[in-house]
Amino acid sequence: MKNVYDIVIIGAGPAGLAAGLYAARAKMKTLILERDKTGGQIVTTNEVANYPGSIQNATGPSLIARMVEQTEEFGAERKKDTVIDVDFTEKIKVIKGEKEEYKAKAVIIANGATPRPIGCPGERELTGKGVSYCATCDADFFTDLEVFVIGGGDSAVEEAMYLTKFARKVTIVHRRDELRAAKSIQDKAFKNEKMNFMWDTVVEEIKGDGIVESVIFKNKKTEETNEYHADEDDGTFGIFPFVGYKPQSDVFKEKIELNESGYVITDADMKTNVAGVFAAGDIRVKSLRQVVTATADGAIAAVTAEKYIENNFEE
Ligand code: NAP
C-alpha cells in the first residue's frame, strides 16, 4: 500500500516521541505529526527532576532534544501539521491536516493537554500582554517586576519557584487555604523568601489597556473583593495561571470514546474503542500525568499497534 503509513502518531511530546521510537525501531513506516513546536508541555518546564535517569538541572527542552534525536536515529519521519479532522470509519484511517491528508494502518493519538484558563474577564484579551501560561518562556519579561501565580498544584508552585529567579516578588493566589502540591515542593516554596501566599482567593477580572494594569481578587470566605494596581514605576505585573489542563481532543469528538471531561478512554494496552486507534500520554484517562507515564504509554501503544497491524494486514 503505497502512500499509506503503518503508524501515524499525532503529537510529538514524550508520549508521541516514545511511540515513534518504538514503532520505527520495529521497522514500521512511522510518521509523527506535530502542530507547533516539538516536545509538548515539557518544553515549557524548566526542571525535570523526577524522570528516572535525569541528571541535576536537566531541563524539559534538553530531554526532548535527546528523545527527538533517538527517534530520528530509528527512522521515524516528523512533519509539522495541524490535524483538523479524522476519519476512523474504514480499516485505513485518514488524518486530515491543514497542509496534507495522511493515511495509516494504525493511529496513535498523543497530542496531550493544554493549560486551562481561569475563565475570568480580561484573561484572553491580555494573554501575551502580562498574562502567561509558560514561566520558562516568559519569566524574563518580568525581571524585577511583581508576579501572581494562580493555582495551588505542583505546576503552580514549581513555576512560581522558577519565577522567583526573575521577579521581585511572587505571590501564589490559591482558592483554598492549603496547597495541593506535593509536600516536598511545598516545603521548598515556604522557605523561599521571595514567595508570598494569598489564601482563599480567586481572580475575578484582569484589567488593562493593551497590558495588564490591575486585577480584581475575591476572598472566597469573606466575599470581599479588592483591586490590585500595578506599582506606578512598574506600570504592569505578571499573571501566570496554572489551574490544570484540558485535553486537546475536540477533533476526536464522536470519532472515539471520550469521558465527560474530554479525555480519551483506553484499556491497559492503549486501545481505544475503535480498532486500529490507540492513545497515549496526557490525553488519556489516567491517574498520573507525568513524563515517565507518558513515555510508558507511548511504548505500549506502539507495540500494541504493531501487533494490530501484523494481525490485520497482509504483507
Ligand atoms: P492540578 O494538580 O490539577 O492543580 C490545579 C490547581 O489549580 C489546584 O490547586 C486547583 O485548586 C486550582 N484551580 C483549578 N481550577 C481553578 C480555578 N478556576 N481558579 C483557581 N484555581 C483553580 O494541576 P497541575 O498543577 O497543573 O498538575 C497537573 C498534573 O501534573 C498533576 O498530576 C501534577 O501532579 C502533575 N505535575 C507534576 C509535577 C512534578 O511532579 N514535578 C510538576 C507539574 C505537574 P484545588 O487545589 O482547590 O483543586
Neighbouring-strand partners of residue 108: 9, 278
pLDDT at residue 307, rounded to an integer: 98
pLDDT at residue 87, rounded to an integer: 98
Active site residue 231: no
pLDDT at residue 226, rounded to an integer: 96
Alpha carbon distance 4, 227 (integer Å)? 58
Active site residue 138: yes
pLDDT at residue 42, rounded to an integer: 77
Closest Cα to atom 13 of ligand 1: 243
Alpha carbon distance 245, 226 (integer Å)? 28
pLDDT digits (tens, 9 = 90+) for 130-156: 999 988 878 999 999 999 999 999 999
Pocket test for ligand 1, best of 154, 186, 217, 288 (most atoms within 8 A of CB): 154
pLDDT at residue 227, rounded to an integer: 98
As for ligand 1, residues whose beta carbon falls within 6 Å of it are: 50, 118, 150-156, 158, 175-176, 180, 202, 242-245, 289
Each residue's pLDDT, cut to its tens digit, for the chain (315 residues) gives 778 999 999 999 999 999 999 999 999 999 999 997 777 777 777 677 788 888 777 788 889 999 999 999 999 999 999 999 999 999 999 999 999 999 999 999 999 998 899 999 999 999 999 999 988 878 999 999 999 999 999 999 999 999 999 999 999 999 999 999 999 999 999 999 999 999 999 999 999 999 999 999 999 999 999 999 999 999 999 999 999 989 999 999 999 999 999 999 999 999 999 999 999 999 999 988 889 999 999 999 999 999 999 999 976
Pocket test for ligand 1, best of 51, 290, 292 (most atoms within 8 A of CB): 290
Place of cell 470581599: 224
Ligand 1 centroid–CA 163 distance in Å is 17
Active site residue 120: no
CB neighbourhood size of 243 (10 A): 20
C-alpha cell at 297: 504509554
pLDDT at residue 53, rounded to an integer: 86
Ligand 1 centroid–CA 176 distance in Å is 12
pLDDT at residue 267, rounded to an integer: 98
Ligand 1 centroid–CA 103 distance in Å is 37
pLDDT at residue 306, rounded to an integer: 98
Beta strands 101-109 and 201-207: pairing type? unpaired
